[in-house]
Amino acid sequence: MYQSLHTTVLSRAGIPFEIQIRTFEMHHTAEFGIAAHWKYKEGVTDNNRKMEERLAWIRQILDSQAATTDDSDLVRSIKVDLSQEDVFAVTPKGDVINLPVGSTIVDFAFAIHSQVGIKMVGAKADGKIVPINHEIKTGEVIDILTTNQPGHGPSRDWLNIAVTSQAKSKIRAWFKKEKRAENIAAGKLETEKEFRRNNIDLNDEENAEFINEIAKKLKFTGADEFYAAIGYGGLLLSKVMPRIKEDYNKRTAAAKPAETVTVAPKSSKSSEGVVVDGIDNCLIKLSKCCAPLPGDDIIGFITRGHGVSIH
């Protein structure tokens, strides 16, 4: 892995410049270790200083990977780090922080140290208060304002403000560790909103069973882990909703009762024109004692061996 000591000093003219210090062993690791292999594969020459500076954050990629279950989000963040030119800003102590173009105060704070980012309450750029979504410009002196108030931490909105994978992974790691109950509640709320938006309608018992099934298919131990991952940003619900919707449609189709066909009972009709509903192939006789005529009110008696006798 790449090894080198980097420090930045200010010239008498106030211009910051970087110094890299290596022992022979550190130099050998940098030249012939995994970083040198990457340089060779990418066709980068030793004279390309900008790519050389980027090698220092390779280890950061591994940390980012451990902090998220969404590989596509990690890849997007790394592409941002790799594909753009750098800007650099200076801390009040003269330390130069290199960041991709478009980076914000949130990225700057976490680039200094994870605790600086976690405790941040605001920032100044060149002595003026700026919002945390302020984009860093080369040459700015950025002063991060912090607090030691117990329980203070980053906001979930910072995940949308941060640009670098380093800042996002540290924010997610903090939420994953410190705010489990809050993560579960936030993830559950977001899931309910997405279910309503996608017309997924289940009662409480069915919903609990369905979520557990989905969670296990996505390699979570249960519903709480699923909700927590959504809450701290490790899982983007929008990425898995098509799969959830498909499973819901299959579940609904399987639970739908088969269509029933109602067959009307056959009627039995005698030669005298009397119809008895619900009886098929039964003997019907008009009684001779009263000799009922068409239009008369009649009543039928079931007899033993002689069918229905009409009076």
Distance CA 210, CA 25 (A): 56
Domains within the chain, CATH numbers bracketed: 5-175 (3.10.20.30), 179-255 (no CATH), 263-311 (no CATH)
The tokens describing 37, both together, are: 């292999």
Q: At 37, is the pLDDT very low, low, confident or very high (cuts 50, 70, 90)? A: very low
| Cβ proximity of 308 and 302 under 8 Å | yes
Span 40-53, average pLDDT: 55
Mean pLDDT confidence for 35-54: 54
Taking only the tens place, the pLDDT of each residue in 86-144 is 888 899 988 889 898 899 999 999 999 999 999 999 999 999 999 999 999 988 899 99
- For 268-283, what is each residue's pLDDT tens digit? 455 556 666 666 666 7
Cα angle, residue 93 at apex, residues 81 and 121 outer, rounded to 5° = 70
Percentage of residues of the chain with pLDDT beyond 90: 16
Alpha-carbon gap, residue 176 to 228, rounded angstroms: 8
Q: DSSP state, 56? A: G
Residue 238's pLDDT band (boundaries 50, 70, 90)?
A: confident
Cα dist. 7→10, 18, 53, 115, 242 in Å?
10, 6, 12, 20, 48
Looking at the DSSP assignment, which residues form a beta bridge with residue 143? 124
Region of residue 59 (phi > 0: left; psi between -120 and 50: alpha; otherwise: beta): alpha
The C-alpha atoms of residue 268 and residue 285 are separated, in whole angstroms, by: 12
Whether the CA torsion 181, 156, 143, 107 is positive or negative: it is positive
